[in-house]
Structure 1
Amino acid sequence: MDTTKNKNWTLESSPAKLEEILPGGVVKCHLSPRNCVIQEGKVGFCKVRGNRGGRLVTLNYGKGVHSTEETIETEAVFHFAPGERILSLGNIGCMLNCGYCHNWKTSQAKYVTDKDVYYYTPEQVVETALKHGIRVISWTYNDPVVWHEFILDTAKLAKEAGLINLYKSAFFISEEAIDELLPVIDIFSISLKSISPEYYRKVTTGWVEPVLAGIKKVYDAGKYVEVSTLMVTDISDDEETARKISQWVLDELGPNVPLHFVRFHPDYKMSNSIRTPVDRLLKARDVARSMGVEHVYLGNVNDVEGTNTSCNNCNALLVTRYGLNAEIIGLDSKGCCSQCGHDAHFKLLGEHQANAPVELREDALAAYEKRKFEWHGDIVSLHAQVLNTEDFEQTVYLRRNYTDGHNSDWKSLTLRPHESYRFIIAKARIDETGPEVWLPNGVNSNLHEVFDRAHFPTESIEEIGISQNDITPTIGYEGKQNMYEQVIKLVSQA
């Protein structure tokens, strides 16, 4: 990864797939259902695919935000290798413009700053995953659709290296593009915003029909699929929405496909709101389960029912989850209940010992810098970004603090010479007060507060300070209108 900052990321372009050359030097892009017709020197809706010399090009090939080590639960994937570490990569641009987007500073290309853009080759991505013992690469954050060419090239190399590819997307994508993804993507975690065509048009600027068709297409192709829906406060957090989405999942995919109802975090054009009340999420889960959906979960919540997995036959506890952490306690090697043998519909990868606890005395770190962070309000996860400035390997250590004054076991992270690495730390139990990151001389760090599991923060607390509970001190969206009241009116009139 090239960590060079402040280059103009829009200057370099690469040939794009799915082009149609039209008369007069015009091109049509067939990556999304928009089928943008683009004049010479212009860009399409996503702002990262354009016309250069009468040919379709991509402006974001190999360009994205910092790769981040996370857990697979971050991507609303609960039944494939619970607790598995993943390498998440996001890019620039999007085929949609959702009014509540929490990654709008990267999904909407006009807000992207050069300092936040990193440069990758497919080989570097695969090398990073292998070096850190990571078995799953996740294409995520803003939305992977607009990174099509880079994903195809990298995912192919990843599969050749024995890695698994996960695609976390709103899936506003053409059938032709899906056909190109199917040979290299193993897991599809798809955000279905709503079943309502009007909601899609007004809130996301897209349309729902190709999203539904795309989900069905990858499922019918035999790919692993999970579906999630963001329950926006007072807009899409009602029982009827839960009922319609559940019915579609049952009719088109089947009762075994996991369904997630995700808590909304106010942001972008819809910041004049509150997080989704948890009781509404619980009600949505009850509705789906009563209709026959077997695996229904809640996202962006802690300390509530709806995150663990129990056997639907004998009620034995199979997987415990807290925040973005998971532990398998009742599954056999085939993904079945170890108590009664009932098929719990899990895909497992087997034992993996990478990043195991290490034995260490605190006095051995006397020369290290300790960075301590305390969980507060709804801030229960953090991105730590570390940079080894030395010409030799360095080791960073991490542990967690608890209310009784005790600490967790140590975990370690080895950095290659001049390596920049970013990883998530998420609250793992109710009595945890926060983490400590211990840094040797020559390793710099930044900490970034994470507001929900799909959020990629671009500003660190060193730049903007620590938030007050759930209120980010980041300079907000400067649009002249707030969509929230408008959409409330739309829903009430429907």
Structure 2
Amino acid sequence: MARKQWQQTGYPARLWSPLADNAIRCELCPRSCKIIPGRTGTCRMRRNENGSLVSLNYGKSVPMTQESIETEAVYHYAPGEKILSLGNIGCMLHCDFCQNWTTSQARYVQDDNVMYYSPEDVVNYALKHNIRVLSWTYNDPVVWHEFVMETAKLGRERGLKNLYKSAFYISEKGIDELLGVMDIFSISLKSMQDSFYRKHTGGRLAPILDGIKQVYDARKGGSGPHLEISNLCVTGRNDSLTESRRVSDWMLNHLDDEIPLHYVRFHPDYRYTDVERTSIPFLEQARVNALADGMRYVYLGNVYGTDSANSYCPDCQTQWVKRNGLVAHSFLKDGGCPNCGKRSPIVLPWGDKNPLSEGIRIPADLSCSTHMFRGAIQACHIEQDEGATLYYQFISSDGQPVGEVGMNGCARFMLSKSDDRAAGIRLYHPEKSDIRLFEVYDRAHFPVMSAEQTQGTSEDVPITFHPLQGR
């Protein structure tokens, strides 16, 4: 099979050691692949070139996208904060239910979905658009290690925070390096069953648990990174109350009761599409059980219109943060409960003030297009020309305005419903501008097909999977 354009060039990799006959040992993930010259490791993103290991995805990415920090299952750090989401191509796992398989599984990555960035490009873009958090996310940043490390270091030097959203199949050495540049870890613990990992992801459970404990231990003394855990509840595989309880029990025994836990709703995808989305009543009960067992902060993810996404004071039950979808509004006062004064564990690096509305007016000379949300799809990505500014207004099912007018000048950004009345969105833009809209099926889902292509498809399965033949 001929190499694609993105596979042509490599960048010197970190974390490897030489072996006999020009072979190398990759030390980035727990597999410790032995790679002979001309071949790649299991991830297909790290290649042996004449006895040296190179990364095939350095600076190669899906388009940078402005989102909110809630997208990454982070509820206790700067609620409502804008982030710049960055997603590589490739992954160190091979989950048969992956929602980003078109870009995470190397053999399905198409050249037209790959952008090319330098660390300076990323940091300068964030600063230009007043974004204070770089989020390493989507497929999984582990196999993007070299680019992540260099860009995160530069970002920190320029005053930015770094967020690492990962399934965390990474070596102890890799984590040690990350701890030097990351401010926030949001780790997906998919199951407490090793058999689940081996059968459905190609990985193992033990290294992930060890990695979570390594990050947690780095927090001792109060100077380490922020940590939150999420558990994707996959229909028919780990969506039982016994399974969900194993996650909370492990956290209570090995972490502590203040680390936030997110039970996340699954949508069918990739090779696992003959099921429905996760039952919401099950997720609600899993949350109730975890709280009853001693967890203090348990949330639901990918569920709209539920109080279980809000943050409450565990002492007096006063609402601290209201969340609707991926939009958050904080009521904290000087970092504490506005009612009883209890100190909140929610980190507020820039204070606890919500951004003020600017009273935006839509210019009169713009064209208008409308998109209506479908089924459980509650968000979208918008792409526009670099340097352009798009205005938007959510609308009800009968076309009435819902909420305030917004505007955004990023080349790609997410819009999410924040009001149960919202059924669609109006976009205002110059007549000849190139506007593309993508349906986002779940948070951390990076869609590669426009709404024009997906409108006639399932509301639960974004793209039909067709296997390729050969290696």
Whether the TM-score (by the shorter chain) exceeds 0.5 is yes
* Alignment match of 1:34 (pick from 31, 34, 37): 31
SS of 2:409's partner is strand
Q: One-letter code of the match for 2:449?
A: E
Match for residue 133 of structure 2? 136
Question: How far apart are the structure 1 equivalents of 2:187 and 2:259?
Answer: 12
How far off its partner does 1:440 sit? 1.6
> Which structure 1 segments of 5+ residues have no match?
1-5, 416-420, 481-494
Deviations 1:343-372 (A, max 9, x none): 331001226787953431x5x333x22121
User: Does the CA-based 8 Å contact 2:397-2:424 persist in structure 1?
Assistant: no
* Alignment match of 1:414 (pick from 401, 409, 427): 409
Match for residue 370 of structure 2? 372
How far off its partner does 1:469 sit? 3.0
Match for residue 202 of structure 1? 199
* Alignment match of 1:265 (pick from 254, 264, 267): 267
**Please, which moves more after superposition, 402-411 or 227-236?**
402-411
* Alignment match of 1:17 (pick from 14, 19, 44): 14
* Alignment match of 2:465 (pick from 469, 476, 488): 476
**Please, which moves more after superposition, 406-415 or 294-303?**
406-415
**Please, which moves more after superposition, 405-414 or 133-142?**
405-414
SS of 1:306's partner is helix
- Does residue 76 in structure 1 map to residue 76 in structure 2? no
How do 1:53-64 residues align onto structure 2 when only pairs under 5 Å count?
Answer: 53-64=50-61
User: Does the CA-based 8 Å contact 1:357-1:410 persist in structure 2?
Assistant: no
Deviations 1:197-248 (A, max 9, x none): 1111111110011100101101110121000001111211111111111111
Match for residue 396 of structure 1? 390
How far off its partner does 1:470 sit? 2.6
User: Does the CA-based 8 Å contact 1:357-1:412 persist in structure 2?
Assistant: no
Question: How far apart are the structure 1 equivalents of 2:271 and 2:316?
Answer: 46
Question: How far apart are the structure 2 equivalents of 1:264 and 1:407?
Answer: 28
How far off its partner does 1:439 sit? 1.3
User: Quick one: structure 1 residues 74 and 355, their matched pair in 2 at CA, closer, same or farther if it must change by over 3 Å?
Assistant: farther
Question: How far apart are the structure 1 equivalents of 2:465 and 2:158?
Answer: 41
Q: One-letter code of the match for 1:346?
A: I
How far off its partner does 1:479 sit? 7.2
Deviations 1:440-494 (A, max 9, x none): 245311111111112101111234445443343x3324379xxxxxxxxxxxxxx
Q: One-letter code of the match for 2:380?
A: L
User: Quick one: structure 1 residues 465 and 278, their matched pair in 2 at CA, closer, same or farther if it must change by over 3 Å?
Assistant: closer
Q: One-letter code of the match for 1:229?
A: N
User: Quick one: structure 1 residues 178 and 299, their matched pair in 2 at CA, closer, same or farther if it must change by over 3 Å?
Assistant: same
Match for residue 427 of structure 1? 417
User: Does the CA-based 8 Å contact 2:334-2:352 persist in structure 1?
Assistant: no
How do 1:95-106 residues align onto structure 2 when only pairs under 5 Å count?
Answer: 95-106=92-103
Question: How far apart are the structure 2 equivalents of 1:409 and 1:464?
Answer: 28
Question: How far apart are the structure 2 equivalents of 1:135 and 1:466?
Answer: 37
Question: How far apart are the structure 2 equivalents of 1:56 and 1:316?
Answer: 54
SS of 2:309's partner is coil
Match for residue 350 of structure 1? 351
Q: One-letter code of the match for 1:221?
A: A
User: Does the CA-based 8 Å contact 1:133-1:354 persist in structure 2?
Assistant: no
Match for residue 360 of structure 2? 359
Aligned residue pairs, count? 460
**Please, which moves more after superposition, 7-16 or 461-470?**
461-470
- Does residue 449 in structure 1 map to residue 446 in structure 2? no
Question: How far apart are the structure 1 equivalents of 2:379 and 2:68?
Answer: 12
Q: One-letter code of the match for 2:299?
A: Y
How do 1:72-471 residues align onto structure 2 when only pairs under 5 Å count?
Answer: 72-222=69-219, 223-329=225-331, 331-334=332-335, 336-348=336-348, 349-350=350-351, 356-360=357-361, 362=362, 364-366=363-365, 368-388=366-386, 393-403=387-397, 405-414=400-409, 421-471=411-461
Q: One-letter code of the match for 1:116?
A: N
Question: How far apart are the structure 2 equivalents of 1:409 and 1:300?
Answer: 24
Match for residue 222 of structure 2? none
SS of 1:24's partner is helix
Question: How far apart are the structure 2 equivalents of 1:365 and 1:355?
Answer: 24
User: Does the CA-based 8 Å contact 1:370-1:436 persist in structure 2?
Assistant: yes
How far off its partner does 1:158 sit? 0.5
Question: How far apart are the structure 2 equivalents of 1:207 and 1:7?
Answer: 30
> Which structure 2 segments of 5+ residues have no match?
220-224
User: Does the CA-based 8 Å contact 2:393-2:401 persist in structure 1?
Assistant: no
Question: How far apart are the structure 1 equivalents of 2:451 and 2:315?
Answer: 47
Question: How far apart are the structure 2 equivalents of 1:7 and 1:478?
Answer: 18
Question: How far apart are the structure 1 equivalents of 2:125 and 2:447?
Answer: 21
How far off its partner does 1:394 sit? 3.5
Question: How far apart are the structure 1 equivalents of 2:447 and 2:388?
Answer: 25
User: Does the CA-based 8 Å contact 1:357-1:409 persist in structure 2?
Assistant: no
SS of 1:241's partner is helix
How far off its partner does 1:407 sit? 4.0
SS of 1:244's partner is helix
Question: How far apart are the structure 1 equivalents of 2:108 and 2:4?
Answer: 15
User: Does the CA-based 8 Å contact 2:329-2:354 persist in structure 1?
Assistant: no
Question: How far apart are the structure 2 equivalents of 1:72 and 1:184?
Answer: 18
Match for residue 486 of structure 1? none
User: Does the CA-based 8 Å contact 2:330-2:354 persist in structure 1?
Assistant: no
Question: How far apart are the structure 2 equivalents of 1:87 and 1:164?
Answer: 10
Question: How far apart are the structure 2 equivalents of 1:195 and 1:471?
Answer: 26
CA RMSD of aligned residues (A): 1.8
Q: One-letter code of the match for 1:37?
A: K
